[in-house]
Amino acid sequence: MTEHKLEVNRIRKQFGEKEILSDISFYVDEGELVTLLGPSGCGKSTIMNILTGILEADAGGIRVEGKVGYMQQKDLLLPWKTCMENVILPDLLAGTAKAEAENRAAPFFTKFQLEGYERRYPNEMSGGMRQRASLLRTFLSSGDVLLLDEPFGAVDSITRGSLQQWLIGVSRELGLTILLITHDIEEAILLSDRILVLSDKPSRIRDEVMLTPAFGDGKKEARQFDPVFLELKKRILEDLK
């Protein structure tokens, strides 16, 4: 039996008397993009914090095969460091020599549409470039499971659409395993292989939406033009009521 890349088994969490997570279980397989979708404040980021070890669950357990990288909504690039220096920072902090870290990162600048910006500073880069640089840093620091918490929430809608299409392509090319948080239903339908719809607090998994069977063999890039897109959006809106 093949083990999942990431497993969450019946985790619970409360703060004081307030229960936030109630019996949450799910998995992510290698190469999958699974989305946690739910109303603001339902506990999505709490799940991420438990997965990264920032918080401990009150009950239940998690299992991750390999290393986890965590990217938050803001790019968190250091303004006094170049794009390359920001990207390789986790490797440097882990004790890797600068030349070795740069050699490892350099081939990915083209895939992440950052070629030519290695020595530029964040204020010389667009919002989309900064988000891609942040994602590249996350990828290089883990490469096994990427946890993305509203990664495109801080950019304008046109840039967001471009980043979504780019993420679809680079995920397919590199075989990325991603757990994504969003409260944007359309983004979730476009990007995901599966969507886990969470209830309000105490948060439970209310529905699991399987995207690949719903859309058949069609590529993710074209999903937003498929009539199934609106049917799934309606289903998820009903889940969230």
For residue 55, give the CATH number of its domain. Answer: 3.40.50.300
**Does some domain include residue 227?**
yes
**Does some domain include residue 137?**
no
Give Cα separations from 236 to 121, 135, 164, 186 (angstroms): 41, 28, 20, 10
pLDDT in tens, 162-204: 999 999 999 999 999 999 999 899 999 999 999 999 999 899 9
Which amino acid is it at 15? F
**Does some domain include residue 62?**
yes
**Does some domain include residue 132?**
no
**Does some domain include residue 20?**
yes
In what side-by-side order are the strands of the sheet with 178-182? 68-71, 145-149, 178-182, 33-37, 194-198, 205-210
The three-state (H, E, C) secondary structure of 90-146, written as one string? HHHHCCCCHHHHHHHHCCHHHHCCCCCCCCCCHHHCCHHHHHHHHHHHHHHHCCCEE
**Does some domain include residue 97?**
no
Question: Domain limits at 184?
Answer: 1-66+175-241
**Does some domain include residue 102?**
no
| Terminal-residue alpha carbon distance, the chain | 37
Structural domain count, the chain: 1
Question: CA-to-CA distance for 125 and 117, rounded, in angstroms?
Answer: 8
**Does some domain include residue 116?**
no
Question: CA-to-CA distance for 148 and 177, rounded, in angstroms?
Answer: 11
pLDDT in tens, 194-241: 999 999 989 999 999 999 889 987 789 999 999 999 999 999 999 998
Task: Read off the pLDDT band of 75 (50, 70, 90).
Answer: confident
Which amino acid is it at 158? I
